[in-house]
Chains A and B, each alone.
Chain A
Amino acid sequence: MRNIILAAAFLATSGLAYAEADHGEQLYQTYCTQCHGVNANGKGINASHMSVQPRDHTDTKEMSARTDDELFKVIKHGGKSINKSILMPVWGGNLNDDDIHALVAHLRKLCCQKN
């Protein structure tokens, strides 16, 4: 029920929320939520069609085990670059380094800044 309410709130305010989001969050919503989920829990609309499940970015323990450099690398060069799934694409051709740093900063908010 909580998830449904969260989703309804997201849908109702998504336009506004997107416009007000910082750059990292806008990039996350655009490129990441399809697989990692609108609530960043790894349950995006594509997840049920994937042989390897996307990372839950709200999992503090798992995400804390990754350095910022590793997160940067996996976004820029894809899952294969850190011996993870090829289902995590290479985004270095779409995003510049500043974009990727902004995404890493947003990932840190998602995983490790609890309200």
Chain B
Amino acid sequence: MKRLYSWGVAALLAAGAPVAAQADVAADVQQQCGSCHALTHNYAAESIAERAARKAPPLDYAGNKFNREWLVSWLQKPEPIRPAGTFPPAHVQAGADGDTIAADGLTKHPALPAAQAEAVADYLMTLTPFTKLIQAQNYTPGNIALRMGKMNFGKFKGCDACHQDAPGKGGVSGPELYTAWQRLQPGFISAYIADPVVWDPHTMMPKGDLNDDAVHKLANYLKAIGEK
């Protein structure tokens, strides 16, 4: 209730006093979002134990990662992106036929009113510590045949062991990728596939040995399924 009240106050401020509200939105994001999402951190200086303690993905580079319009929409109607949560081992139950996700332990992201979603998205898009890394990408979105892209994504690169490329199709420990093209900036997709460790030293995404063409081929597949 306290959280809703706080967001409500911020929404009123956003509607009535833009300049003051902007500062309040920043403060509210720090206070409310920051209770689960890291907005500042130094993971490289911490032990791997910090990975298990995360309640939600870091947002300190949100402005280099997300598409603003997707943020605005998702914040109003949040849907799970990571089927097994931020730290999958904490949401797993073992059974005779194998491990399954203990869904009741997963937390639901709060939905924001439209005005607040806009304000929060605007603030998050200012968080851009990796702009040079994005600018260094030489990725120009292109096309790939769905069938070829799927074969590359699954059989050749094994991405589907952890990621879904369609609802219910693929592994569940990583974020689903069938909305990745709407959700993520093309430069981020390219840079993160190429070297996820630069973005997050404790990422569960393996830093492979893909060359630029291979990275771009995977990124183009996300584009193809995103535009399907």
Which A residues have a C-beta under 8 Å from some C-beta of B? 3-4, 6-8, 10-11, 14-15, 18-19, 23, 26-27, 29-31, 33-35, 37-39, 43-51, 78, 85-87, 89-91, 93-94
Of B65-73, B152-160, B181-189, the one touching chain A: B152-160
User: With A and B bound together, what is the CA distance between A78 and B210 in angstroms?
Assistant: 13
Q: Can you name 29 A-B residue pairings with CB atoms under 8 Å?
A: A3-B95, A3-B96, A7-B92, A11-B105, A14-B90, A23-B47, A27-B48, A29-B89, A30-B89, A33-B92, A34-B84, A34-B89, A34-B171, A34-B204, A35-B162, A35-B173, A37-B94, A37-B99, A38-B89, A38-B92, A38-B94, A39-B94, A43-B97, A45-B100, A45-B171, A49-B171, A49-B172, A86-B158, A93-B206
Q: Is the interface of A mostly helix, strand, loop or mixed?
A: helix
Q: Which residues of B contact A (CB under 8 A)?
A: 47-49, 51-52, 84, 87-90, 92-102, 105, 155-158, 160-162, 169-173, 195, 197, 202-204, 206-209
Q: Give the chain B neighbours of A43 by CB distance below 8 A.
A: 94, 97-99
Complex Cα distance, B51 from A26, in Å, reads 10
Given A27-B48, A44-B99, A49-B172, is A89 in contact with B94 using a C-beta cutoff of 8 Å? Answer: no
Tell me if B161 and A46 are in contact (CB < 8 A). Answer: yes
Contacts of B88 in A (CB 8 A): 33-34, 45
A-B interface contact total, Cβ < 8 Å: 129
CB distance from B155 to the nearest CB of A (A): 8
What separation, in Å, do the CA atoms of A48 and B162 have in the docked complex? 11
The answer to whether residues A93 and B207 also contact, given A11-B105, A18-B52, A50-B171 and a CB cut-off of 8 A, is: yes
Tell me the smallest distance from the CB of B15 to a CB of chain A, in Å: 41
A residues in contact with B96, CB < 8 Å:
3
Contact A89 B89 (CB under 8 A): no
B158 touches A89 (CB 8 A): yes
Chain B residues in 8 Å Cβ range of A4: 93-95
Q: How far is the CA of A69 from the CA of B208 in the complex (A)?
A: 20
B156 touches A86 (CB 8 A): yes
B172 and A94 contacting across the interface, CB-CB below 8 Å: no
Q: Is the Cβ of A49 less than 8 Å from the Cβ of B160?
A: yes
Residue among B49, B156, B157 with the highest chain A CB neighbour number at 10 A: B49
Nearest-neighbor residue (CB-CB) of B196 within chain A:
A94
* Interface pair B93/A7, CB less than 8 Å apart: yes
Whether B161 contacts A33 by the Cβ 8 Å rule is: no
Q: A90-B208, A90-B209 are in contact. Are A46 and B173 (CB under 8 A)?
A: yes
A78 CA to B209 CA, complexed, in Å: 10
- Taking a contact as CB atoms under 8 Å apart, the answer to whether B48 and A26 are in contact is yes
Contact B95–A90 (Cβ < 8 Å): no
Residue of A nearest to B102 (CB): A11
**In the complex where A45-B84, A45-B172, A46-B161 touch, is A11 in contact with B197 (Cβ < 8 A)?**
no
